[in-house]
Amino acid sequence: MVAGCGFAALSRSDAGRRPALRVRRSLILGRMRRAGAWMAIWLAAAVAAGSCRPSAWPGPEATREALVALHQEVRGRVLAGDLARANGFAYAVDVGELMRVASRLGDREMYVALRSFAVRRLIIDEPDDPTTRGFVLWRRTPAPADAEDAPDASGTTEALRVSEGLWEGALAFGASEDRELALRVLDGYARHASDAAGLLLIRNYFNFGSRDFATNSFLVDYAPDYLARVARDTGRQDFAQLAARSYEVVRAARSPAGLIYDVFQPEMATLFDDRRTLLYSPNDIVQTSNAAAIAATVLEGAPEVASRVLAFCRDRMPGLKLAYYGRTGEEARQKRPGIEIWGTLTEMSVRRGDETGIRAFAPFLVSNAAAGRIPADAFLYVSAHLLLGLEALDKYFGLDRPVPILR
C-alpha cells in the first residue's frame, strides 16, 4: 500500500464521504554546466539506503528513458479506458493530475481521452441546479453502475486538480472552451467556501444525498498558487481574494518543525479559544507526502512555507520517513514514504532552482519510476506524480528534443 498525499488524503476523505454513498548541443552544455556537481552526487548516492530503491545519479538519458517508458504505459491505460482502481472507481485526482501530465508532454490524444471522461462522468454541469454546477465528483465508476447512477459527493481537492488540468490543457492545446470549463469548475469550488474563526474554510465535500456541505477541511483542499495564476490571467478579483485567504490558511497550518498540518476542524473552537488549535494533524503526526503536496501549491506565493518543507525533507535524506511529529520534527513512523513523494519533491526542487534538493531526490525518483515499484491499485495516481517530476527533471537537464508520443 502506498503512503502518500493523494492516496492518504483520499483514504481520509473516503471515511468522511462514505455515508453519502457511499522531456545535441543543449545536451552537451547541460552536462558541462552540472559536471562539477556530479562527483558529489555520486558520493551521496553511494551511501543512500532504504526501501525506496535509491540509485546512482540518473543523468539525462536515464531520466528520459524512465519518462518515456512510464508515459507509454500510462498512455496505453488511459486510451484503453482503464481508469478505475481495484474497487471499480475512477478517481478525479487521478484524472486531473494525468491531464496536467498530458498537457506538459504535449500528448493531445491522451488529454482528450481524460477530458472526455471528466466531462462525461465527473463534472456536474446542470444549469437547473446552480448550487452544484461546476462541482467535481470525487470518484465515479467508468460506466454507469445502474439505472440511477446518482452522484454521491463532490470533492474540493478533486475540483482543483481537474480545473488545473483543464487550464493547462487550454494553454497547451489552445482550447478556449477548456479554459471556460476550468473557470466553471473553480466557480463550483468557490461555493464550497465558508468562514471559520476568521479563516477561509473550504468545506471538504458536498453530499448530494443530504444536500449538505461537510463541516471540516483538509489542507490539500487549498491551491493558492493556481488560484492566483488564474486571477492574474482573468482579472477575477474573487479568485484573487480566494487565493489570498488560502495562503493565509496554509501559513496558519505551519507546524513548529517546519511541516504543514493536515486538518482544519472548526468544531475544535468549542473547546479552545485559540484558532491555532483548529489546524492540526491527529496525534501531531504529519505525513511527509501530505506536507510536500501542500507545499507545492504555495511555492510561488508563500515560498517561505514551501522552502521549509523542502528543506525539512532534504535534510533528512537519504533516510526520509513516512511521518514526523509536527512540533519536534522527530520520526513518528519508521516506514519510508510512498514513492510518489519523489516526483513532488523533485519538481519542487527544479522549480526552486534547488540543486541540493535535485541531487537528493532525483536518484530516488528515476530509479523507482523505472523499477516497476508502482503499486497496482494506485498506479495512475502515483504515476502522475512521478511523471510530473520526471518531466521537470527532463527540462532541467536541457534536452532539446521533444518527448516522443508513443503509440
Task: Give the mean pLDDT of 270-290.
Answer: 83
Give residue 197's pLDDT band: very low, low, confident or very high (50, 70, 90). Answer: confident
* Cα gap 368→60, rounded to integer Å: 16
CB-CB contact of 2 with 339 (8 Å): yes
Task: Give the mean pLDDT of 344-353.
Answer: 97
Write the pLDDT tens digit of every residue in 56-84: 889 999 999 999 999 999 999 999 999 99
CB-CB contact of 255 with 267 (8 Å): no
Sign of the C-alpha dihedral computed for residues 10, 99, 229 and 239 taken in this order: negative
The C-alpha torsion from 199 through 243 and 225 to 125, rounded to 10°, is 110
Specify the 3-state DSSP secondary structure of 137: strand
* Cα gap 38→31, rounded to integer Å: 9
The strand pairing partners of 200, in sequence order, are: 195
pLDDT confidence of residue 182: 98
Q: Report CA Rg, the chain.
A: 20
* Cα gap 369→69, rounded to integer Å: 9
pTM of the entire predicted model: 0.86
pLDDT greater than 70 at residue 235: yes
Helix axes 156-173 and 92-105, enclosed angle (nearest 10): 20
pLDDT confidence of residue 8: 41
Select the more confidently predicted residue: 243 or 407. 243
Q: What percent of the chain has pLDDT over 70?
A: 81
pLDDT confidence of residue 23: 36
Give residue 398's pLDDT band: very low, low, confident or very high (50, 70, 90). Answer: confident
CB count within 10 Å of CB 22 equals 9
Select the more confidently predicted residue: 151 or 3. 151
* Cα gap 137→133, rounded to integer Å: 11
* Cα gap 85→387, rounded to integer Å: 19
Write the pLDDT tens digit of every residue in 17-60: 543 433 333 333 333 333 333 323 222 333 333 345 556 889 99
Spatial CB neighbours of 23, under 8 Å, sequence gap ≥ 6: 63, 64, 67, 390, 391, 393, 394, 395, 397, 399, 402, 403
Q: What is the mean pLDDT of the chain?
A: 86
Select the more confidently predicted residue: 22 or 310. 310
Cell matching residue 318: 537519504
CATH 1.50.10.10 for the 5-23+41-397 domain, yes or no: yes
Region at 228 (left for phi over 0; alpha for psi -120 to 50; beta for the rest):
alpha
User: Side chain identity at 81, as an amino acid letter?
Assistant: G
Q: Which of 286, 305, 307 is nearest to 357 (CA)?
A: 307
Domain residue ranges of the chain, discontinuous segments joined by +: 5-23+41-397
Cell matching residue 380: 495512475
Overall size of the chain counted in residues = 407
CB-CB contact of 404 with 64 (8 Å): no
